[in-house]
Amino acid sequence: MISADEILSIITAVFYLGLLIHFAIRFARSRWWIYFFIGLFCAIRIVAYVIRAYVESDAVTYGSSKWISLYITETTLLSIGVIFILLILARLYASILPKLRHVAGHSRGKFEATLVLRTRLFLLPIIACVIAGAVLASPDYTESQQNTGLILRKVAVLGLMAVALIFLYAAWNYRQRYPENKRAFELCLVVTGLFVVSLIYKIVYTFRTSALTTTWAYFVFSPLLELAALVVLSVDLQMYFLGRKEDKLPKEELHDLA
């Protein structure tokens, strides 16, 4: 008998496929790498939810070596995917902030100098904790190793929340500072807000495994919010973040964005 989790996983994968096609078309027309990264995020999610649907089917025996292998792969892909949202937001900020600063005569702020231009440096430790925690979550490991994995997942989700809240504040702050470009930062604000709500669910689930374990809670607070964020990003981002082709930047700014 097909379970609700299996059905919802297939439906979720189909929605991500639709968005993947949308962003692939945008990338083919513009060659703007933001669209490529969003499409890559969708592809990772499709693979993860297809595996989830397969694991929930009767084709795999619970606890078998095949089930454990698929479980680790699914958990790892789902965990890595959340990093992409912050990376995408960072690239969006990197495409618009230098131009706005250049016109307004502002200096580079700490947010841009760190989390925008050095995003990977701050996210690498979180990514390491996410992957290690996902792998150690497998029932194939000892209880002590699983507890270590749980600690790593707690550190990772709290780190993600801290970074996401900074991004949320930045979106609000830049919206006030550059009202003529507030539409761009409103997009960032909404996407980051949806991501923060999704992370609240992940924090509750990580620290209290017995809470929010129902199928509906998982799909409402995890893929549904992410899909909503991608729908928000499905507008013409180039119009809001790239501006006019004739906009010029100082050479040092172009070097930083390379």
Residue 44: both structure tokens together: 């990772």
Selection from 6, 11, 12 nearest residue 223 by Cα: 12
> What single DSSP character describes residue 181?
G
Compute the distance between CA of residue 194 and CA of residue 100 in angstroms, rounded to an integer: 26
In angstroms, rounded to a whole number, what is the distance separating the alpha carbons of residues 62 and 75? 15
User: What is the structure's pLDDT at 1?
Assistant: 66
Phi/psi for 242 (5° steps) reads: -90, -30
How confident is the prediction along the chain (258 residues), in pLDDT tens digits per residue?
Answer: 678 888 999 999 999 999 999 999 999 998 899 999 999 999 999 999 999 998 888 777 776 778 778 888 888 888 777 788 889 999 999 999 998 988 888 888 899 999 999 988 888 898 889 888 878 877 778 889 888 988 998 999 999 999 999 999 999 999 999 999 999 999 999 999 999 999 888 888 888 766 666 888 888 888 999 999 999 999 999 989 986 544 444 444 444 544
Please give the single-letter amino acid code of residue 70: L
Give the length of the chain: 258
CB environment 73-92: b (16+ within 10 A), e (fewer): bbbbbbbbbbbbbbebbbbb
Token pair in block for residue 28:
């083919």
First to last CA, the chain: 52
Q: Are 52 and 4 in contact (CB under 8 A)?
A: no
Cα 165 from chain centre: 14
Domains and CATH numbers, the chain: 4-257 (1.20.1070)
Reduced to 3 states (helix: H, G, I; strand: E, B; else coil), residue 103 is: helix
Q: Name the 3-class secondary structure at 258.
A: coil
Convert 44-76 into a string of H (helix), E (strand) and C (coil): HHHHHHHHHHHHHCCCCCCCCHHHHHHHHHHHH
Closest CA to 227 of 81, 119, 120, 93: 81
pTM of the model: 0.85
Q: Look up residue 112 and give its DSSP letter.
A: I
